[in-house]
C-alpha cells in the first residue's frame, strides 16, 4: 500500500510538473474571473453598508432636530467609510494577487522553457554540423553525393502529400526538407529566393527563414518565424533530384546551414 501511494504521488508530481505552465495559465484565467466577481460583490456590499450608516445618521439628525438638539452627527468621512468596508475587499485583493502571481510565474516558466528549447536546438544544430563536416571529410566525391541523394530520396519517401500538389507547365514538384512540405516551383525560382535572402542579409545583416519561404511561395511557420541566417552563415542550399510516390520528378531542397534561433544577436 505504501509503495502504491508513493507511485501515485510521483505520478501526480510529474503530471503537475509537465503541465505547470498550463495549470498556472488556467489559474490566471479563473482568478481573473473570480477577482472580478468578488470585487463586484464587495462593491455592492460596501455600498449597502455606507448607505445604511448614512441613512441611520440622517434619521438621528432628524430626531435631534425634532427635539431641538443643536448637536448634529457629521456625515461619514472617507476614512470612516474605508474602515467600515475594507474587510469585504480582502478576498478580491488576495484573489487578484494570486492571479497576478500565476500569470507572472506562467510567463517566467514559458520563457525558461523557450530558452531551454533554444539552447537544445542550438546544441543539436552544432552537433549536426560537426557530424556533417566529419562525414564530408571522410567521404568525398561520388560516394558522398550518393549518400546525400539517398538521404534526400528517403525524406521524400517518408513524406506523403506529393499527389496533392498540382504542377503546371514550366514548374516541377519540389520538396522542402526542413519543414517537410511540397510545393511547385523551378530551379530559377529557388535560386532567386536564395539570392534575395542573401541580399537581405547583406543589407540588414540577417534574414528570417520565413523571408526565404515567402520567396518560394510557401507560407511561414512558427519555426521559420523564429530562426534565420546572418552574415556569418548566409543561405546555401543543396538541391537533389528525387522521385515522388507517384513517380514524378521532384527537387528536394536542403539547407547546408540550418537557420538558427540566435541569428539576430549572432551576426
Q: What is the 3-state secondary structure (H, E, C) of the chain?
A: CHHHHHHHHHHHHHHHHHCHHHHHHHHHHHHHHHHHHHHHHHHHHHHHHHHHHHHHHHHHHHHHHHCCCCCCCCCCCHHHHHHHHHHHHHHHHHHHHHHHHHHHHHHHHHHHHHHHHHHHHHHHHHHHHHHHHHHHHHCCHHHHHHHHHHHHHHHHHHCCCHHHCCCCCCCEEEEECCCCEEEEECHHHHHHHHHHHHHHHHHHCEEEHHHHHHHHCCCCCHHHHHCEEECCECCCEEEEEEECCCCCEEEEEEECCCCECCCCCCC
| From 47-56, 112-121, 234-243, the region with the lowest mean pLDDT | 112-121
The count of C-alpha atoms lying within 13 angstroms of the C-alpha of 179, restricted to the half-sphere facing its C-beta, is: 19
Q: Give the pLDDT band of residue 197 (cuts 50, 70, 90).
A: very high
The pLDDT of residue 216 is 93
Q: Which residue has the higher pLDDT, 33 or 149?
A: 33
Question: 178 pLDDT exceeds 70?
Answer: yes
Question: 265 pLDDT exceeds 60?
Answer: yes
pLDDT in tens, 87-101: 888 888 888 788 877
Question: 168 pLDDT exceeds 70?
Answer: no
Which of 104-118, 156-170, 186-200, 235-249 has maximum average pLDDT?
186-200
The pLDDT of residue 6 is 57
* Interval 165-172 mean pLDDT: 67
* Interval 218-226 mean pLDDT: 90
Q: What is the mean pLDDT of the chain?
A: 78
Q: Give the pLDDT band of residue 141 (cuts 50, 70, 90).
A: low
Q: Which residue has the higher pLDDT, 237 or 66?
A: 237
The pLDDT of residue 47 is 86
The pLDDT of residue 213 is 95
Rg (CA), the chain: 34
Long-range Cβ pairs for the range 173-176 (8 Å, 24+): 173/244, 173/248, 173/249, 173/250, 173/251, 174/216, 174/250, 174/251, 174/252, 174/253, 175/242, 175/244, 175/250, 175/251, 175/252, 175/253, 176/213, 176/216, 176/218, 176/253
- Percent of the chain exceeding pLDDT 70 equals 71
The pLDDT of residue 214 is 95
Q: Give the pLDDT band of residue 10 (cuts 50, 70, 90).
A: low
Residues 215 and 196 sit within 8 Å (Cβ to Cβ) = yes
Amino acid at each position: 500500500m505504501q509503495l502504491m501511494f508513493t507511485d501515485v504521488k510521483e505520478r501526480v508530481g510529474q503530471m503537475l510538473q509537465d503541465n505547470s505552465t498550463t495549470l498556472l495559465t488556467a489559474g490566471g484565467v479563473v482568478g481573473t474571473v473570480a477577482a472580478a466577481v468578488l470585487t463586484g460583490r464587495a462593491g455592492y456590499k460596501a455600498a449597502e453598508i455606507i448607505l445604511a450608516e448614512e441613512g441611520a445618521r440622517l434619521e438621528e439628525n432628524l430626531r435631534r432636530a425634532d427635539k431641538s438638539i443643536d448637536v448634529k452627527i457629521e456625515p461619514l468621512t472617507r476614512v470612516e467609510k474605508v474602515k467600515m468596508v475594507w474587510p469585504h475587499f480582502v478576498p478580491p485583493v488576495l484573489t487578484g494577487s494570486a492571479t497576478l502571481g500565476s500569470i507572472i510565474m506562467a510567463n517566467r516558466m514559458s520563457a525558461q522553457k523557450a530558452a531551454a528549447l533554444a539552447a537544445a536546438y542550438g546544441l543539436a544544430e552544432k552537433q549536426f554540423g560537426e557530424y556533417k563536416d566529419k562525414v564530408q571529410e571522410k567521404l568525398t566525391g561520388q560516394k558522398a553525393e550518393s549518400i546525400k541523394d539517398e538521404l534526400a530520396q528517403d525524406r521524400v519517401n517518408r513524406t506523403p502529400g506529393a499527389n496533392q500538389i498540382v504542377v503546371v507547365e514550366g514548374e516541377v514538384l519540389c520538396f522542402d526538407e526542413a519543414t517537410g512540405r511540397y510545393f511547385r516551383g523551378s530551379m530559377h525560382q529557388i535560386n532567386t529566393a536564395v539570392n534575395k535572402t542573401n541580399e537581405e542579409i547583406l543589407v540588414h545583416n540577417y534574414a528570417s527563414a520565413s523571408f526565404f519561404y515567402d520567396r518560394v511561395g510557401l507560407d511561414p511557420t512558427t519555426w521559420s518565424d523564429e530562426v534565420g541566417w546572418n552574415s556569418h552563415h548566409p543561405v546555401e542550399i543543396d538541391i537533389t533530384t528525387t522521385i515522388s510516390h507517384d513517380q514524378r520528378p521532384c527537387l528536394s531542397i536542403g539547407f547546408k546551414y540550418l537557420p538558427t534561433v540566435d541569428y539576430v544577436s549572432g551576426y
